[in-house]
Structures are given as C-alpha cells and as structure tokens.
Amino acid sequence: MKTLLYIDCCIRDEASRTQQLAQSFLNNVSETYEVTTLKLTKLDLKPLIGEHFEEREQLLTAKNYHHPRFDLAHQLVAADAIVIAAPFWDLSFPALLKLYIEACAVDQITFKSTPDGLIGMCNAKHLVYLTTRGGVYTDSPSEQALPYLRHISTFFGVDHFHAISADGMDIQGYDSKLSLQNAKSEAEALAKTLF
C-alpha cells in the first residue's frame, strides 16, 4: 500500500477552516493510500539552538543518520505523497511548520550534495499545500508561504507542487463561506485526480 503523509499544522482545532479544507482533500484520497497524520502541535519540535543544535552537528559529523531525531526526515523521504495544511500567518505559515522543516532538512537524508549540485531525495511525486487566509492574497507578492513551500518541495526532490487556498476568511462583508466552499471543491477534485 502507498503512504500519504499528512502534515497537519493547523493550530486551532475545532474551528480551523484550514483543517476543514484538508479534510475535503483527504476524504477523497483513494483507499490505495494509507494516510499517516503528523499533528505538529503534538510533536515536541524545538528550534535549532544550544544543545539541540550541537547534538545535531555531532550526529551529522559522526554520520549517525539513523539516530531517532532524524526519524521525521526518514518518514518524509519514504512517503509516496505529501499533504501540508497550514493557516496563513504573518504573510507566511506558522513558525511551527518551519521547525518541522528544519527537523527534516538533513543532508544525506532529504537531500544530498553531489558534484552536479544539490539533489532532493524524497520519494513523493506530489506535494499538496492547503491554506486559508484572513485577507485576499492570491497572486500577491506579500504571500510568502506559497513560494517558499514550492521551493522547499523542489529542494527535497518532489516533482510536482500543488496549492489550494481560500482567501478572505476574516473580511467583513466578504463571502468567506463561498470562498471556503470553492476551495473545498477544488481540493476534492485534486485529490481524485492525483490519488
């Protein structure tokens, strides 16, 4: 069976619009995929500072790539498909997702240096990014989450990046319900097409 890694960076549990969007996608993934959910708020992700940073340096120098602290990187590499859901925060995504990416960005696991440059090691062909935003930021240069995630996806070796977003969740007078519904329909269709 193929594996789909769902990286859930939704912060608000019950009320999260981003979570609703993600569910619309996941509900339409075929049964040939086993979905593994990684709820980032439940992980003890730490910033790379002090002892936490030093330990990583020592493990990498010793080429100890199978130490448990690299489990997240191995899990990401092995996944056949990747879905990330994260709300739009401060023109980007929550810092929690960056901590997760730092935990996964390990030379010789998710990417490697070669004489021809850096090569991404991820097995997945597709990464799908799902988000909802308070304002309207589609195609805006101020939208800094989507370009970064597109590039880190390529950096990790994933061939295709897809993004679905719902704008205007917090604008008074904006039809936020319709915006979310449109994004959900798009997510359902994409899940059926890809997986």
Ligand X SMILES: Cc1cc2nc3c(=O)[nH]c(=O)nc-3n(C[C@H](O)[C@H](O)[C@H](O)COP(=O)(O)O)c2cc1C
Residues at the site binding ligand X, with contacts judged by CB under 6 A: 10-12, 16-19, 87-91, 132-135, 137, 169-170
Cβ 170 to ligand X shortest distance, Å: 5
Shortest distance in whole angstroms from residue 116 CB to ligand X: 38
User: Which one, 30 or 138, has the nearer CB to ligand X?
Assistant: 138
Shortest distance, CB of residue 141 to ligand X, whole angstroms? 13
Q: In the numeric block, which tokens belong to residue 52?
A: 């936490």
Q: At what angle do helices 95-104 and 71-78 cross, to 10 degrees?
A: 90
Q: How far is the CB of 45 from ligand X (least distance, A)?
A: 17
Nearer to ligand X, 155 or 174 (CB): 174
**For ligand X, the closer CB: 43 or 95:** 95
Comparing CB distances to ligand X, the nearer of 38 and 105 is 38
Residue sitting closest to ligand X (CB): 134
